[in-house]
Amino acid sequence: MIRHRQSTQARTRNVQTFGMHLAAAVLVLAGGAALVRADDAVIESHGYSFYGDLKYGPDFTHYDFVNPGAPKGGEISFSRLGTFDSMNPYTVKGRAGVLSWSIFESLMDDGAADVYGEEYGRLAQRLEYDEGKTWVIFYMRPEARFSDGTPVTAHDVLFSHNLFLEQGLPSYASAVKKRIPKAEVIDDHTIKFYFTEGISRRSLIDQVGGVPVFSKAWYEKTGARLDEARLETSPGSGPYMIDTVDVNRRIIYKRNPEYWGNDLPVNVGRHNFDTIRVEYFGDDAAAFEGFKAGEYTFRQEGDSKKWATQYDFPKVRNGQIVKAELPDGTPPTPSGMVFNLGRAILKDKRVREALALGYNFEWTNESLQYGLFKQRASFTQDTPLMATGVPDEVELAFLKSLGDVVPADMLTLEARMPHSSKPKRLNDRRNLRTAMKLLDEAGWPVGDDGKRRNAAGELLTVTFLFNSSQEGTLSAVVENYLKNLTQMGVNPKLEKVDPSQYTLRERERDYDLVFDGYSAFLGAGTGLMQRYGTSETEINVFNPANLASPMVDAIIDAALNAESRDEENLALRALDRALRYEFFMIPMWYNDSYWVAYYDQYAHPDPLPPYDLGWLDFWWYEADKGKALKAAGALR
């Protein structure tokens, strides 16, 4: 699914709130969120969620978590590592500039950070759909305008939808064509989409409601393609426009003073900064020094060593920089060292299990990360959908109903948990002995030279692809991990490449191991199949493990076709169990809070909403504090 929140929270949000199931003839929504015409079972609403439960009623004036009186003005700036050569965020070539997607809007807004799975009208003022969700009609706001002053129409929506099918990511286009066979413009501000019969109703209405809308006239005039890298962009209709682009150095976005949607309920209290500036750096050491010097003003820290030891400098001590740990209510991103299951040597799970035993989380956390992290086990970590123990009676019945695609041993095994290691030394001898036994069994014995070879005399070589811009603690973690592989007799190769090479090689899956992540989930959507499913595996950039599991496919299908929230949750808990059973990733660490440091000229709602930090979305600038910092020489 092509979706972008109007914020920059990095974690993928696929989860949905709990609520009522659609009734056969009458829909009851919290706050009177929708009306039903019982005569033809058509639902009309200002918003959408799959089960019909909406927190905000049709007359809501703003999201509860924002400050509706937040002042407009000022600048917020942050760093990005690496390079960029395009301002087209949807190119399949090159590297797009950060936030280049943010100038475009979609029919529906998913910025309600206090709920999951709910969307409210943005370009569309309302929508209408039949109870069976075989079609949807969006009624657009006639006042919507692109930044060049031209109206946003249903013709632009249809053009954008088709453009993604013709020139977008192949995996996306293939999936959408199967599910959305037809779309038609009814009039200049009304568009209807039809959905394929006999498939799950998941991610249909929200799919088409979330497509970024481009100017048809601009594309036809320029002849530009969606899949090409280019610095010129079509006008967007969003609150920000591109102001300055200095390739590989800086991007500045400015708030559109003529933005048509300032007073929409979904926008009140949001998009508060006059400018958003992105400063590019070659590595994080340089970026950190730039922050200390005042070259940019907001930093979200991900390096535990820096967080623990390097924020004791004068500007922090005198209060010019705020250092804070803010609560994070989202499930942690399932990141770690991902195996490329397309490689012959990694198809044997015993080999993967052996390689995993080389990772010592306890030593890494204590020696390199100052004990600041927890070890992740699950794709739904610390949520009610995290699989635990052996399947209970209900889950066991569900798994058995899927037939032979579920391995017999998974029915009796406890949900896979990461191995434990001793924290006092890097090479836990017990784990290394177990690993070496597994490699022997898998046909990779040790020779006289201490190297492991198969029957054909080929070395057990494992290539780890690493993005050179991620130097620091992560680099140290990987290098120490590879030391343990060497002790097993494995021949590890660490290939550090620049960001552009890294992007290309990752797309081509030119690696055995890579540090990457998938998406956490607490709700069913077709994005699950795009990320974890077998279909179009070879062209799917969202599946770095090359995972192709009939069991996973069957469970996702069951989740997509669930008829109640309980059935959905059962399937998703089984999906977590199955993904862990397939074992395509070495789970590493996670943090349940945001580490942020920023110059003391910003304010945010208190409390923050549970599902978004929102620093580019609903924070705001305090002019008096900003002037004081500049007067003191703290900022350039």
Q: pLDDT digits over 243-294, tens only?
A: 999 999 999 999 999 999 999 999 999 999 999 999 999 999 999 999 999 9
Single out the residue of 590, 505, 521 nearest to residue 559, CA to CA: 521
For a pLDDT cut of 90, what percent of the chain falls above it?
Answer: 82
Span 368-386, pLDDT tens digits: 999 999 999 999 999 899 9
Burial tier of 563 (Cβ tally within 10 Å: 0-12, 13-18, 19+): exposed
Single out the residue of 380, 420, 349, 332 nearest to residue 585, CA to CA: 349
Asked if the 34-73+99-222 domain carries CATH number 3.30.470.20, the reply is no
What pLDDT, on the 0 to 100 scale, is given for residue 436?
A: 97
What pLDDT, on the 0 to 100 scale, is given for residue 536?
A: 60
CB atoms within 10 A of CB 449: 9
Rounded Cα distance between 264 and 234, Å, is 23
- Alpha helices (runs of H) in 391-541, residue ranges in sequence order: 393-401, 429-441, 473-488, 499-507, 527-532
What pLDDT, on the 0 to 100 scale, is given for residue 537?
A: 60
CATH class of 335-590: alpha beta
- Range of weakest confidence among 48-57, 137-146, 238-247: 48-57
CA R_g for the chain? 25
Q: Is the pLDDT of residue 19 over 70?
A: no
- Higher pLDDT pick, 94 / 287: 287
What pLDDT, on the 0 to 100 scale, is given for residue 413?
A: 96
Which pair of structure tokens corresponds to residue 558? 């069951």
What pLDDT, on the 0 to 100 scale, is given for residue 40?
A: 55
The 3 state secondary structure assigned to 25-88 is: CCCCCCCCCEEEECCCCEEEECEECCCCCCCCCCCCCCCCCCCCCCCCCCEEEEEEECCCCECC
Total length of the chain: 636
Q: How confident is the model at residue 405 (pLDDT cuts 50, 70, 90)?
A: very high
Span 307-348, pLDDT tens digits: 999 999 999 999 999 999 999 988 899 999 999 999 999 999
The average confidence (pLDDT) of the chain is 91
What pLDDT, on the 0 to 100 scale, is given for residue 539?
A: 61
What pLDDT, on the 0 to 100 scale, is given for residue 535?
A: 74
What pLDDT, on the 0 to 100 scale, is given for residue 558?
A: 95
Q: Average pLDDT of 224-252?
A: 97
Span 440-454, pLDDT tens digits: 999 999 999 999 999
What pLDDT, on the 0 to 100 scale, is given for residue 469?
A: 84
Taking each continuous run of H as one helix and of E as one strand, the counts in the chain are 17, 25
Residue 606, C-beta contacts closer than 8 angstroms, at least 6 positions apart: none
What pLDDT, on the 0 to 100 scale, is given for residue 130?
A: 97
For a pLDDT cut of 70, what percent of the chain falls above it?
Answer: 93
Answer for the pair 525, 202: CB distance below 8 angstroms, yes or no.
yes
Answer for the pair 54, 33: CB distance below 8 angstroms, yes or no.
yes
Q: Average pLDDT of 93-105?
A: 94
3-state secondary structure of 130: strand
Span 426-442, pLDDT tens digits: 999 999 999 999 999 99
| CA dihedral over 547, 552, 554, 557, signed as positive or negative | negative
Q: How confident is the model at residue 13 (pLDDT cuts 50, 70, 90)?
A: very low
What pLDDT, on the 0 to 100 scale, is given for residue 20?
A: 26
Span 483-540, pLDDT tens digits: 999 999 999 999 999 988 998 899 899 999 999 999 888 889 878 988 999 876 666 6
DSSP calls for 189-203: TEEEEE--TTS--TT
Residue 552 C-beta-side C-alpha neighbours within 13 Å: 21
Please calculate the CA angle 388-393-396 and round it to the nearest 5 degrees.
Answer: 75
What does the domain layout of the chain look like in residue ranges?
34-73+99-222, 335-590
Residue 115 C-beta-side C-alpha neighbours within 13 Å: 20
Rounded Cα distance between 193 and 180, Å, is 7
Residue 432, C-beta contacts closer than 8 angstroms, at least 6 positions apart: 357, 358, 484, 487, 488
Q: First and final CA of the chain: distance in angstroms? A: 41
